[in-house]
Structure 1
Amino acid sequence: MSSDRAINNLADQPVTNLKGVGDKFAQVLAKLHIHSLQDLLFHLPLRYQDRTRVVPVAGLTAGMDAVIEGEVTAADVVFGRRRSLVVKLQDMSGSITLRFFHFSAAQKNRFARGVRLRCFGEARRGAAGLELYHPETEIVGSENATTEETLTPVYPLTEGVSQGRMRGLMQQAVELLRSGAVTELLPANLLPKPLRYPLSDALVYLHSPPAGTQLEKLAAGTHPAQQRLALEELLAHHLSLLELRRNSARVAAPPLPKNKSLERDFLSRLPFSLTGAQQRVCEEIAEDLAQDLPMMRLLQGDVGAGKTLVAAMAALKGIGAGAQVVVMAPTEILAEQHRINFCNWLEPLGVQVAQLTGSLKAAERREQLGKIASGEAQLVVGTHALFQEGVVFHNLVLVIIDEQHRFGVRQRLELREKGAASGATGRLQPHQLIMTATPIPRTLAMSAFADLDCSIIDELPPGRQPINTVAISNDRRDQVMERVHSAIAEGRQAYWVCTLIEESESLQAQAAESTAEELVEMLDGARVALVHGRLKPEQKEQVMGAFKAGEVDLLVATTVIEVGVDVPNASLMIIENPERLGLAQLHQLRGRVGRGSIASHCVLLYGTPLSQNGRARLQALRQHSDGFAIAEEDLRLRGPGEILGTRQTGEIQHRIADLQRDAELLPQVQKIAISPHLTEGIRQQLIKRWLQNKPRFAEA
């Protein structure tokens, strides 16, 4: 490679400039989003191995990766459940077993008694003390073999790339980096003092940390070199969301003024008044909808805070303008609950409500599609079926999405595109109101939803009772059943929620069915009903209707009742195996009780033994009734991917930054983002560096 090429910007150099990378192997690297030498350098290690020093055998602990050196004292083939080669290795401090399940005769002969061997591997507990399974081995002479001078990086890989090959490529790239250039995009004066670490130095350090580097600091992601890159990555994500925000401001949306008489009529029919928080949020939404720019608002509110009523007030703006509004929910049960609520509230005002879910029969679906396409239905409630092929809207001006984190972002985009193509609005974008009863911690909202305005209903309707939460071991199941029996005898209703790790709805249904049978037998005379994901919508509706009407004493359910069900007389909830669920989901389930004026109880019936993390989750639920406090705790215990539902949707998967660990960098990121020293050119280069090869769905 010519020296003048080496000093070029590495962002412009394809990986094929490296020795051993042809077009075919470049396609393999592209699966890792590696196209240029800069991409390669930003492909950072997952962890490190310390091969820089030899550890005495006596200094090993289970789970430790280490280099050891000693003399072979025995090598035998052992026949147990699996045939294995067992080699005994001894140094001055003690002895250890090396175990190989795949080996040849030549390999066995290599480990002759008296041979001096250097090994690298992970120490694990075996039948007779610590063992190394399939360690890397090297025969050494009387002179000690040289050890590595730097920590050994372990990289994320894909099929067709080995660690050895990736390390070889990275060594070439790091050499080029020493003489080449990765552009320093951030002026030093914008960085906090501890992070004024030249970018090239940070990259060289992270690909080859010197001997003596603290592994713990690197593992925790808190080394200044890592933090320097984390800050830049968070800034790139933040800038991309702000760019999307600016782009959406360039798109027109139909302004929706208040329809005072329609809204006054609606409010006068309610048996209660809006809370102060509901009124404030309704005003914020009304101001957005009156603009000719698309509203992008996130509505957060704890369980039972009255988000659906606020959504109805927003819907009236679109309906009052003679246009169409869509409400999308993640499950058929929740969609059905919304349909019932909106029908009760809006049909007396002359508003037609249509429904579109996956389980509609063909004739019913055709009828609903006709009403939607003609505009006869002013409000459409449904599930993901709303954005399937063949669904045509009539002048869609507002999309309300409930429990937004349960949808893939692609799905939200498709629904918005359908709206933009609908009827009289031409290519105007519909407004979007995104609701969640899973409060998103402030640190996550700052980063994940920088392109959304945020409204919070931080006040519960008057009369809501606090819920007493207790955790009881499954060993005391009989006592819990007695408690349920007493509640039913007093005329109260109860939920019994079955949880399963398996995703399979059929297995969940079977578990719920067997629990219901057991409860019928144990609770003599109690009226027990069952609801789960495999029931047809009309069956679910029938069961839920009977429960709501007081014809059922105990409802056995899977987590399908997590959201949307409102039965004021239900004052007791039993959640089996709560340790299997996230805190936010448990809080959602618990919110099904305490909706009336009577004291309510939630029993967490956990399995034993309970892990430390499981114990911490249940303790947090007992201590907190505020959804936002629970969300912060959930973030601490489970991480951002779980809470935002992004493990499935591909959003917010950072290469090095961690929203939880690096939360303290976010205020700094926001400050840098608005700095006049950050030119438009630099902004675009930062976004390109960190996001150009990743799916960017944040437009939703």
Structure 2
Amino acid sequence: MPRAARPTPALAPAGDAPLTSLRGCGPALAEKLATRGLSTVQDLWLQLPRGYEDRTKIVPIRELQAGAAAQVEGVVEAVEKGFRYRPMLKVAISDDSHGTLVLRFFHFRAAQVAQFQPGTRLRCYGTPRLGPQGLEIVHPSYRVVEPDEALGSVLDPVYPQIEGVAPATLRRLIGLAVDRLPPDAALELLPVEWWADLGLPSLHEALVTVHRPQAGDDIPALLSGRHPAQRRLALEELLAHHLSLRGQRRAHRAHAAPALRDARLANALRDGLPFRLTGAQARVFAEVARDLAQPVPMLRLVQGDVGSGKTVVAAMAALLAVGDGQQAALMAPTELLAEQHLVNLRGWLEPLGVRVAWLAGKVTGKARAKVLAEVASGEAQVVVGTHALMQEGVAFHDLALAIVDEQHRFGVHQRLALVDKGPRARGNVPHQLVMTATPIPRTLAMAAYADLDVSTIDELPPGRTPVTTVVLGADRRPELVERIRRACAEGRQAYWVCTLIDESDEVVARAAQTTFDELTAQLPELRLGFVHGRMRPAEKQAAMLAFKNGDIDLLVATTVIEVGVDVPNASLMIIENAERLGLSQLHQLRGRVGRGSAQSSCVLLYQPPLSQMARERLATMRETNDGFVIAERDLELRGPGELLGTRQTGLAEFRVADLTRDADLMPRVQLLGERIAERAPQLGGRIVARWVGGAVRYASA
């Protein structure tokens, strides 16, 4: 960091002031704002607009387009009040372009109706839509104006709504806060050299531009979030969250963890396997073993495509804990997946004399009491289960390694709960190994998992054949029925996946129940099974087990099988209404086939017409089997929240940054994070305090 950088307070004095110091903000209003984390003037500086309304020009009514927000001005021609199904007020206005527009209100007061006298001039803003009598705007913002009344000269910011606070009140308070912005010298935390070469403005200029854009500013850039002012704010916000995650990691690693170095059992498992580890598996296990040998907690994410062999690596890691006389726990999001792990681990570990226990919601009564006693005494050396592992009554004797599968399906608090099961009384916390079969694009991993080291199993075991993917319209269903008949006659098995359980009028999709009934009638010689999310776990388990054992030829299912059992004999996957699913989910489903040596196929059935995004998704699936390519494309198309499950991961909801749009800033963010950590850690604390504040939600997750 340049020597010229001087310490700056985390909160400039003007920003540190409470909201009640602003005119018109009393204790009651301040309390409502505090529920959204807004308690100081600086918090309002960083309460950024989610969009803008352009009231700097009037659009002739004849030139209005449905779906495009605009401001119009016209004279009231007619007013109609009705109570057909609910109260309704319609006001027709016209202008010099000889166009007519209907303003429609469902909530109105008598005083409002009195305003709309024929001949009154109104200036209205809203988004037109096609109505019964042409274009209309529902609940526009409007005011009565005089002829030739001046237009505004700046865009109007639109802020995120806060319950109990009128938008106009919030806009006024933020305006007062922006008036108090100090000059650059008192506000700036980052040295000029860190952002000027990107063509970005100072923080003061960026905040003023974002809150008060002028008519001459690049409006399209502002509306798309790509204006240099927004990029400047995004850079600092991404840096703050990056530093926050690094800080959490540092706090976690300040704890002690048991050093696990006895590799005899792990080596015995490796040497006794009926297959050789791939080079990628061996490399990742070496990385895990190196971490576990240290007396500080491991925090490692192992990502690998469907079927890449992550469970074997997890089993060998668990044996490092057992070899040292301690316990390991493996937690999976569903009983189905947890039970698959149980079968694999018992098959590999019990011949080595290792006791593997099973703890899920359906383990009850005396059986549950027995397992809990074994876990508490240490007799159970490896414990496999669902979120039941984290319940209060579960006490481990000496948990040294917590393995979490499909991390994005768990909340970070759930991951923490398992970590808390470690022997903290001795000052130790367990090591953590997090696994995911949803490949995470590098830029997203840099932002969302900066607190974890990332290992990648980027090689499939030999014998796995690439799955051929074809895309067909729904009118080709009869051909597919014949294809299933032929495949099953050859001794193979097939999946038919539907996206709904029951028929729905709202969505054009064939329900799983209807499909099951139709296929049963069309394929009387085959044994059909049916699995969906509303079934009891025992019924679902029985159907999946029957399919795995070869007692079912064709399994009709909803997407519950996305993370499911391994059936090497299944070679055909049909996904109905594939246009309704995201890329990662399609890839997970496709991964259910191609697990044996037979040539496998995945058929994506779609219901035309296709949207542009659906067309791109299906084309990507046809072009590649590479989970990482698919994840990158999914990030572009859907954004990080959907890809990771934002609420579940604890991934922060950013004020201005967008991990897809601003991905190119992440290498700079990582570089700056390293500079700050090495040379100016106090500066990092001030940046985190400004953008994240007390909301460092998951300190040790």
* Alignment TM-score, normalising by the size of structure 2: 0.93
Which residue does the alignment assign to 1:585?
A: 585
Which residue does the alignment assign to 1:4?
A: none
Q: For 1:573 and 1:31, how far apart are their aligned partners in 2?
A: 48
Which amino acid in structure 2 is aligned with residue 524 of structure 1?
P
Q: Structure 1 residues 125 and 254, CA, compared in 2 at 3 Å: closer, same or farther?
A: same
Which amino acid in structure 1 is aligned with residue 404 of structure 2?
I
Q: For 2:125 and 2:641, how far apart are their aligned partners in 1?
A: 34
- What is the SS of the residue equivalent to 1:419? coil
Which residue does the alignment assign to 1:427?
A: 427
Q: Structure 1 residues 252 and 497, CA, compared in 2 at 3 Å: closer, same or farther?
A: same
Aligned residues of 2:17 and 2:40 also touching (Cα < 8 A):
yes
Spell out the pairing of 1:358-507 with structure 2 (5 A cutoff): 358-421=361-424, 426-500=426-500
- What is the SS of the residue equivalent to 1:418? coil
Give the superposition deviation at 1:107. 4.3
Q: Which moved more, 1:472-481 or 1:679-688?
A: 472-481
Give the superposition deviation at 1:174. 1.5
- What is the SS of the residue equivalent to 2:124? strand
- What is the SS of the residue equivalent to 1:371? helix
Give the superposition deviation at 1:582. 1.8
Give the superposition deviation at 1:581. 2.1
Aligned residues of 1:359 and 1:536 also touching (Cα < 8 A):
no
Give the superposition deviation at 1:541. 4.0
Which amino acid in structure 1 is aligned with residue 544 of structure 2?
M
Aligned residues of 1:302 and 1:457 also touching (Cα < 8 A):
yes
Which residue does the alignment assign to 1:524?
A: 524
Which amino acid in structure 2 is aligned with residue 159 of structure 1?
E
Aligned residues of 1:409 and 1:698 also touching (Cα < 8 A):
no
- Structure 1 residues 335-375: Cα deviation after superposition (integer angstroms, max 9, x where no partner): 00000000111111111110111122222211111111111
- Structure 1 residues 418-468: Cα deviation after superposition (integer angstroms, max 9, x where no partner): 12447xxx2211111111110000110111111211111111111111111
Q: Which moved more, 1:634-643 or 1:51-60?
A: 51-60
- Structure 1 residues 194-249: Cα deviation after superposition (integer angstroms, max 9, x where no partner): 44422122111111111233332112111111111100000001111222222233
Aligned residues of 2:184 and 2:204 also touching (Cα < 8 A):
no
1:325 to 328, 335, 342: 328
Q: For 2:315 and 2:12, how far apart are their aligned partners in 1?
A: 58
1:294 to 289, 293, 297: 297
Which residue does the alignment assign to 1:558?
A: 558
Aligned residues of 2:14 and 2:182 also touching (Cα < 8 A):
no
Give the superposition deviation at 1:31. 1.5
The alignment status of 1:111 with 2:111, answered yes or no, reads no
Which residue does the alignment assign to 1:185?
A: 189
Which amino acid in structure 1 is aligned with residue 74 of structure 2?
G
Q: For 2:673 and 2:501, how far apart are their aligned partners in 1?
A: 42
1:29 to 21, 33, 42: 33
The alignment status of 1:59 with 2:60, answered yes or no, reads no
Aligned residues of 1:96 and 1:131 also touching (Cα < 8 A):
no
Q: Structure 1 residues 85 and 180, CA, compared in 2 at 3 Å: closer, same or farther?
A: same
- What is the SS of the residue equivalent to 1:256? coil
Which amino acid in structure 2 is aligned with residue 644 of structure 1?
L
The alignment status of 1:163 with 2:167, answered yes or no, reads yes
Aligned residues of 1:259 and 1:317 also touching (Cα < 8 A):
yes
Aligned residues of 2:355 and 2:382 also touching (Cα < 8 A):
yes
Which amino acid in structure 2 is aligned with residue 347 of structure 1?
E
Q: Which moved more, 1:204-213 or 1:281-290?
A: 204-213
The alignment status of 1:216 with 2:191, answered yes or no, reads no
- What is the SS of the residue equivalent to 2:361? coil
Aligned residues of 2:12 and 2:187 also touching (Cα < 8 A):
no
Which amino acid in structure 1 is aligned with residue 681 of structure 2?
E
Which amino acid in structure 2 is aligned with residue 32 of structure 1?
R
Give the superposition deviation at 1:643. 1.2
- What is the SS of the residue equivalent to 1:335? helix
Q: Which moved more, 1:523-532 or 1:174-183?
A: 174-183
Q: Structure 1 residues 500 and 252, CA, compared in 2 at 3 Å: closer, same or farther?
A: same
Aligned residues of 1:672 and 1:678 also touching (Cα < 8 A):
no
- What is the SS of the residue equivalent to 2:126? strand
5+ residue gaps in structure 2? 1-10
Which amino acid in structure 2 is aligned with residue 295 of structure 1?
M
Identity %: 54
- Structure 1 residues 247-300: Cα deviation after superposition (integer angstroms, max 9, x where no partner): 23321110011323x233322322111111111111111111111111111101
Q: For 1:265 and 1:476, how far apart are their aligned partners in 2?
A: 52
Which amino acid in structure 2 is aligned with residue 610 of structure 1?
L
Aligned residues of 1:330 and 1:383 also touching (Cα < 8 A):
yes
- What is the SS of the residue equivalent to 2:461? coil
Give the superposition deviation at 1:553. 0.9
Which amino acid in structure 1 is aligned with residue 343 of structure 2?
I
Q: Structure 1 residues 397 and 493, CA, compared in 2 at 3 Å: closer, same or farther?
A: same
- Structure 1 residues 620-652: Cα deviation after superposition (integer angstroms, max 9, x where no partner): 111110000000011111110111111345422
Q: Which moved more, 1:120-129 or 1:165-174?
A: 120-129
Which residue does the alignment assign to 1:601?
A: 601
Aligned residues of 2:104 and 2:136 also touching (Cα < 8 A):
no
Spell out the pairing of 1:87-236 with structure 2 (5 A cutoff): 87-101=91-105, 102-103=107-108, 107-142=112-147, 144-177=148-181, 183-236=187-240
Q: For 1:106 and 1:672, how far apart are their aligned partners in 2?
A: 57
Give the superposition deviation at 1:164. 0.5
2:313 to 310, 313, 318: 310
Give the superposition deviation at 1:536. 4.6
Q: Structure 1 residues 170 and 265, CA, compared in 2 at 3 Å: closer, same or farther?
A: closer
Q: For 2:358 and 2:700, how far apart are their aligned partners in 1?
A: 27
Which amino acid in structure 1 is aligned with residue 187 of structure 2?
T
Q: For 1:524 and 1:96, how far apart are their aligned partners in 2?
A: 62
Give the superposition deviation at 1:124. 1.8
- What is the SS of the residue equivalent to 1:45? coil
Which residue does the alignment assign to 2:339?
A: 336
Aligned residues of 1:330 and 1:406 also touching (Cα < 8 A):
yes
Q: For 2:193 and 2:184, how far apart are their aligned partners in 1?
A: 24
CA RMSD of aligned residues (A): 2.4
Aligned residues of 1:528 and 1:552 also touching (Cα < 8 A):
yes
Q: Which moved more, 1:59-68 or 1:95-104?
A: 95-104
Q: For 2:543 and 2:110, how far apart are their aligned partners in 1?
A: 68
- What is the SS of the residue equivalent to 2:269? helix
- What is the SS of the residue equivalent to 2:420? helix
Q: For 2:225 and 2:551, how far apart are their aligned partners in 1?
A: 56
Give the superposition deviation at 1:29. 0.3
1:18 to 8, 19, 22: 22
Q: For 1:515 and 1:370, how far apart are their aligned partners in 2?
A: 46
Which amino acid in structure 2 is aligned with residue 320 of structure 1?
G
Q: For 2:657 and 2:23, how far apart are their aligned partners in 1?
A: 31
- What is the SS of the residue equivalent to 1:377? coil
- Structure 1 residues 674-694: Cα deviation after superposition (integer angstroms, max 9, x where no partner): 226962221111111111143
Give the superposition deviation at 1:100. 3.1
Q: For 2:182 and 2:672, how far apart are their aligned partners in 1?
A: 28
2:45 to 41, 48, 68: 41
Which residue does the alignment assign to 1:3?
A: none
Give the superposition deviation at 1:378. 0.5
Aligned residues of 1:299 and 1:436 also touching (Cα < 8 A):
yes
Aligned residues of 2:500 and 2:512 also touching (Cα < 8 A):
no
Which amino acid in structure 1 is aligned with residue 693 of structure 2?
Q
Q: For 2:216 and 2:386, how far apart are their aligned partners in 1?
A: 56
Q: Structure 1 residues 364 and 533, CA, compared in 2 at 3 Å: closer, same or farther?
A: farther
Q: Structure 1 residues 486 and 635, CA, compared in 2 at 3 Å: closer, same or farther?
A: same
Which amino acid in structure 1 is aligned with residue 139 of structure 2?
H
Q: For 1:290 and 1:69, how far apart are their aligned partners in 2?
A: 73
Q: Structure 1 residues 62 and 678, CA, compared in 2 at 3 Å: closer, same or farther?
A: farther
- What is the SS of the residue equivalent to 2:675? coil
- What is the SS of the residue equivalent to 2:421? helix
- What is the SS of the residue equivalent to 1:675? helix
Aligned residues of 2:314 and 2:403 also touching (Cα < 8 A):
yes
Which residue does the alignment assign to 2:73?
A: 69
The alignment status of 1:264 with 2:267, answered yes or no, reads yes
Aligned residues of 1:356 and 1:381 also touching (Cα < 8 A):
yes
Aligned residues of 1:195 and 1:225 also touching (Cα < 8 A):
no
Q: For 2:644 and 2:370, how far apart are their aligned partners in 1?
A: 36
Q: Which moved more, 1:430-439 or 1:192-201?
A: 192-201
Which residue does the alignment assign to 1:692?
A: 693
